[in-house]
Amino acid sequence: MKITDLLKKDGINLDVKASNQEEAIDALISLHEKVGNLSDVAKFKEAILAREEKGSTAIGMGIAVPHGKSDAVKTAGVTAITIPSGIDYKALDGNPSNLFFMIAAPNTEADTHLEVLSKLMTLLMDPNFSKKLVNAKTADEFLAIIDEKEAEKDKENAAKAAPAAKKVSKIVGVTACPTGIAHTFMAAEALELKAKDLGIDIKVEKDGSGGAKDVLTDSDIADADVVIVACDKNIDMGRFDGKKVIITSTKEAIHTPEELLNRATSGNVDVYHFTGTKTASVSTSNETLGRKFYKHLMNGVSHMLPFVIGGGILVAIAFLIDTIAGFGTSGGGNFGQMLPLSAFLKSAGGTAMGLMVPVLAGYIAYSIADRPGLAVGFVGGLFAANGNPALMGATGPNFPWVNALLGLEDAAPLDGFNSFIGNFAFTNNGATVSGFLGGIAAGFLAGGIIICLRKLTAGFPKSLEGIKPVLIYPLCGIFIISVLMSFILNPVIALINVGLSTMLTSLQAAGLIALLGLILGAMMAIDMGGPINKAAYVFGTGMLAQAALDPSLGTAAYISMASIMVGGMVPPVGIAIACKLFPNKFTESERETWITNIVMGSSFITEGAIPFAAADPGHVIPCTLVGSGVAGLLSAIFGCTLMAPHGGVFVFATVGKWPLYILAWLVGSIITAVMLGLIKKPVNK
């Protein structure tokens, strides 16, 4: 396949009049539409802009290569324009851009077009070639220049593949960028061209979106004097153990290849030592502390997201089935599991959602400390999700020490140390669940624990290196995280829960129903399934139980439960609305979950908002808190009541004054969305 198979004559427009980046993008997209590459122009433009938000695709030397991979692309293709006067496209070298190629790739596994695209990227590294294209007068001349250069390059590659005399220096490299389309191949070409000028033998592996090209073999690596790793994402580094390695970025490879190659041939390169983990970040030397924190956090969030979405939808389906079966008004606390099918789906969904906090913590730790952090992070996340073990009700001969803690007769007394462990590490009623906020803390704690253990064991004999990742790190790490979670973090949460419960009971007793509705609604949106959320929910269900025994409590109990559920329904729906109204404030993957969040919010599954809150808690949580608080307040003022403890829209048949209830829900959701649009930073900031 030739470049001109993807770049058609009708996809070229020369001497375009454009004054800014957006006008250039629109001109390129219109050419894609003209040649029939797109099924949805607006959706493809979203993909292009989302890529630009991550960093400009202007690579310098007057060239910009905007690109996007999207379901809106029917056929892979390239369009091109020239703007001889140049525009500011935020190029890496600060110069204006005047030659533009836009790559449209379908969101499929097929990668036939990638070789052609990589060839185009490498050709553009020749400044004379780029200059000829900018000066071309017609589309035919533009294509002829490309054909001529492509033929020359093919001839060159054929000669390169022929056996060659052994050079003085042998260098190998790897290039990789997040999208694997443009910068990956341009960095490789820059290194290869400059190496040829300097008489250096080099082979570069290109880790593109369609898989690795020119993969380095074991013998390639063994024969190499130096390895250049120019990557903007994690790659397998274990194969370079014991080799001299230069770790840099694609940007440096594109703009300063000679400097990198001179450094490689100078011999002044440190030997890389593999740490026993499969991946290593290769572009973090200049990262700020805040950027590192965000990167680790997002690694956990991205792995957690499938559990939230898959589990949440299954639970919502369980509610739907029970509603269709007629249990919307009679299911009570068992709503969602009144039939074997609904019970199975609710169990499956609940199991998946039960894993989200451990996965969040585990992969935060993995990002910080690689594979040894996983086990420690998962255990910390389990403690955060489930709380300390609740064995205080397990009395009897199998647990005589529990009888002693409870002060039962004929129980053997415990010494002071065991009494301390029993009272702090084992609590009743799940009062020590710390939720996703505890999971975030557990993930960072776990990563820090492993890093500390590595430093403490750095002086161990080499003969013990093999047992560190399989014995020392998991044994010591799991013990330390268990102690920290059980004796410090979770007990602190338990004290907070007790205080919250006391406050809520006092407000109810004082008849401050509107204020109670405000607080209950807001509590549902602070940690979304965590201890504060659960404290409000347990208070509401407890009020329902008391109302069944004491009818005088009925109205207050039902108003409280209504405020709780509407407060829990606001965060996912408010975020979904914000994704549509303010798309530049969210990543592409976040925007794609808006329908899922509508479903989960409507089903009273507040956890749908957790990935957003975990990724940006400082901005998201205040917005959801205010929106949910207003919804809870309005519900209480309107006198809306609810007799079911769960179900969302599926139990609206039990809601008193349901039109006003929906109004409160919508007002709270819109407030959340507008606040997110006002205070949340654009994703590229």
pTM across the whole model:
0.53
Say if residue 110's pLDDT is above 70: no
The pLDDT, as a whole number, for residue 53 is 81
Confidence of residue 552 (pLDDT cuts 50, 70, 90): low
Give which of 307, 309, 341, 312 is closest to 324, Cα–Cα: 341
Say if residue 43's pLDDT is above 60: yes
Distance CA 377, CA 481 (A): 8
The pLDDT, as a whole number, for residue 236 is 75
Residue type, 154: D
The tokens of 402 are what? 């529990």
- E strands, 573-620, in order: none
Over residues 344-355, the mean pLDDT reads 87
Report yes or no: 191 and 230 within 8 Å, Cβ to Cβ: yes
Give which of 426, 455, 658 is closest to 558, Cα–Cα: 658
DSSP letters of 57-112? -EEETTEE--EEEETTBSS-EEEEEEEEEEE----TTS--EEEEEEEEEESSS--H
| pLDDT tens string 19-38 | 899 999 999 999 999 999 99
Residue 177 annotated to the active site? yes
Over residues 177-185, the mean pLDDT reads 67
Say if residue 109's pLDDT is above 60: no
**Looking at residue 552, what DSSP letter applies?**
G
- 3-class secondary-structure state, position 279: strand
How far from 440 is each of 291, 356, 431, 499, 652, CA to CA, in Å?
16, 11, 19, 23, 34
The tokens of 337 are what? 């599991």
480: Cα within 13 Å, side-chain hemisphere: 21
Say if residue 9's pLDDT is above 80: yes
Report yes or no: 655 and 589 within 8 Å, Cβ to Cβ: no
Do the bridges between strand 97-106 and strand 170-176 make them parallel or antiparallel, or are there none, so unpaired?
unpaired
Say if residue 633's pLDDT is above 90: yes
| pLDDT tens string 365-393 | 988 888 899 999 999 999 988 888 766 66
Report yes or no: 173 and 200 within 8 Å, Cβ to Cβ: no
Confidence of residue 281 (pLDDT cuts 50, 70, 90): very low
The pLDDT, as a whole number, for residue 288 is 60
How far from 297 is each of 300, 308, 606, CA to CA, in Å?
5, 16, 20
Report yes or no: 329 and 322 within 8 Å, Cβ to Cβ: no
Of the ranges 435-439, 474-478, 492-496, 597-601, which is most confident?
Answer: 474-478
Confidence of residue 653 (pLDDT cuts 50, 70, 90): confident
Say if residue 468's pLDDT is above 70: yes
Over residues 426-451, the mean pLDDT reads 80
Length of the chain: 685
Over residues 49-59, the mean pLDDT reads 83
Say if residue 113's pLDDT is above 70: no
- Which domains, and CATH codes, for the chain? 3-154 (3.40.930.10), 163-280 (3.40.50.2300)
Distance CA 331, CA 651 (A): 9
Give the torsion through C-alpha atoms of 636, 638, 641, 645, to 10 deg.
-50
Q: Which of 32, 67, 113, 296 is catalytic?
A: 67
Which pairs with CB-CB distance under 8 Å and at least 24 residues apart come from 422-429?
Answer: 424/486, 424/487, 424/491, 425/388, 425/389, 425/486, 425/487, 426/388, 426/389, 426/390, 426/391, 426/392, 426/402, 427/387, 427/388, 427/390, 427/392, 427/491, 427/494, 428/390, 428/392, 428/393, 429/390
Crossing angle of helices 372-386/435-456, nearest 10°?
150
Over residues 417-421, the mean pLDDT reads 79
The gap from C-alpha 570 to its chain's centroid, in whole angstroms, comes to 22
Computed over every residue of the chain, the mean pLDDT equals 82
Q: Which of 177, 476, 579, 623 is catalytic?
A: 177
Say if residue 666's pLDDT is above 80: yes
Over residues 198-212, the mean pLDDT reads 80
Chain position carrying tokens 């940007």: 251
Say if residue 685's pLDDT is above 70: no
In percent, how much of the chain has pLDDT > 90? 28
